[in-house]
Structure 1
Amino acid sequence: MLIIIQIGIAHMEYSDSFRIASGCRIASGCKIASGCRIASGCRIASRGRIASRYRIARGYRIASGYRIASGYRIASGCKIASGCRIASGCRIASGYRIASGYRIASGYRLASRCRIASGCKIASGCRIASGCRIASRCRIASGCRIASGCRIASGCRIASGCRIASGYRIASGCRIASGCRIASGCRIASRCRIASGCRIASGCRIASGCKIASGCRIASRCRIASGCKIASGCRIASGCKIASGCRIASRCRIASGCRIASGCRIASRCRITSGCKIASGCRIASGCKIASGCRIASRCRIASGCRIASGCRIASRCRIASGYRIASGYRIASGYRIAS
């Protein structure tokens, strides 16, 4: 049975299997039971600045083009079609499915285990609870808080100032804007771009092919996979492992106890602190400072103008260019070539 509701009717209760035709306006304070269907083009009213106390029950289907005012509570298991707009201050319960092309306004709270489809836009200041799945090509605006255990699919854009909690999985091809904070234990997949000024907490795993922009801080015990590019001015904390084939740009600071795998390229004016291990086949550019107690493996190439402190060990078959300064107490292994 099709029932058309008059404009401005408030404080009504609608039972199961109710159908509300297109173009209707539903005033604030109404209660809609489970199993109802709302046609496209309907408007659910708000109370101006004070959000209405609307309850949309479980199993609800909301058609495309719908506008839901601020302060609404949407129960679990509801389906919201593409092109809908949800205003600020709404609460979406766990297990929710949000279709593609969705716009979620600022100040929104998404409960645990929500599924957000591809192409959605999530505005600034939203809170995304643990266990949510954010599909490909979504845009997450600045100032959002993303809880632990969430999964962000490939091609998403995460704006500046976001906070990403521990245990997060960020899929390949994502762009993470400047000033973001990435908590401990996160996994960042291949080909991601991490913008300048980001802070990457301890224990994170950064997959191959990622680009880490200038001024980033990488905390202790992170694992940086092969083929990554680390831009100038980054700070790499103690205990990190940098895999083979990585490129470390100029003026980076590499803390004590780091392990730099074979085939890495370390640009000019980097500072490598005490206790680091540099694997075979690495290239160290001019102007670098290598602190005491470092171990440089065989077949490394060390450019001119570098300073190597006392107590370092340089393995066999390394090449040291002209203009080199070697401090007291140095051990140079067999087969070494020292230029003029």
Structure 2
Amino acid sequence: MALLDLKNLSIEYKLSDGKLKAVDDVSLTIDNGDILGLVGESGCGKSTLIKGIINLLPSNGKVTEGEVVFNDEVLNKLSVEDMRKKRWKEISLITQSAMNSLNPVYKVGKQIIEPMIEHDKTPKDEAMKKAEQLFELVGLEKGRLQDYPHQYSGGMKQRAIIAMSLALDPKLIIADEPTTALDVIVQSQILERINMLLNQYDGSMILVTHDISVVAQTCTKVAVMYGGKIIEYGDVNQVLKRPNHPYTMGLKNAFPSLVGDKKELISIEGTPPDLSKEIIGCRFAERCPFVQGKCRKGEIKKTSVKNGYFYCARAEERDELMKQADIPSTWESN
């Protein structure tokens, strides 16, 4: 049984002049121990998708179709109170810009023990001992629990937020760009620490990012999102070494490789589609260098591959497209 199973999930926002379909018919599976990288440009629906998973959509957002099945339980049918009990204890969230998520008027230790006391009724002294252990795991001195957030550096705040997300030993951690605004050295340290903790706790994670190199370093699976839809999904080595969708090929060519000959990076021209308007055919068609007439007609069918799938009207010509895109097989992951 999968830990998390998204079944044909669609999410809409109600606007003053209509509706915007931010997530369209998304299906994917996360098993115990998986680290899923959710990648794509800004505005493609990544943050909306994860908010839909844990029922934290704004008031004008709504799951209109599909199910979020977590441990054989449909989360989007739970009451507000029942869903609140799931958060932190079974599913925790590392928010985007987590460095600014700590309350500036409370000591960090108080903020970390709060979910333990509220959810598990853990005595305060036991909760503080657990907080000290968590700080040791994320590489912080336990004495810093008595400091206020302004006394922490950016990397220390990020580590503290990771410790907070582990306070109740959740089965799934959702990390929304946890290394944004950190320098590359601290970013590497944070990602290594997350990997170590997940292995130790036998946990799973959804890592939301726009950085393909972070996915290659950290993840076991990857879902590529564009225009509100998962356009390619599969094992990380499979997707990054031999991408099937032209958008994934473009993302790969836009990032440098540390091995092999130096190559000029190629950016993806154009902008993502307007999701408030109906999209007919492939939503990447306006930016795709391989577009043909059939790409703009009707619904693009899903093509299944080993341990994954992708959507492309030219699926049968995949090897030729990859050759034209000049995709090297130089990515490696953990």
If the length of structure 2 is used for normalisation, what is the TM-score? 0.25
> Which is helix-richer, 1 or 2?
2
- Considering Cα pairs closer than 8 Å and 6+ residues apart, tell me whether 1 or 2 has the greater RCO: 2
> Which is strand-richer, 1 or 2?
1
Larger Rg: 1
If the length of structure 1 is used for normalisation, what is the TM-score? 0.24
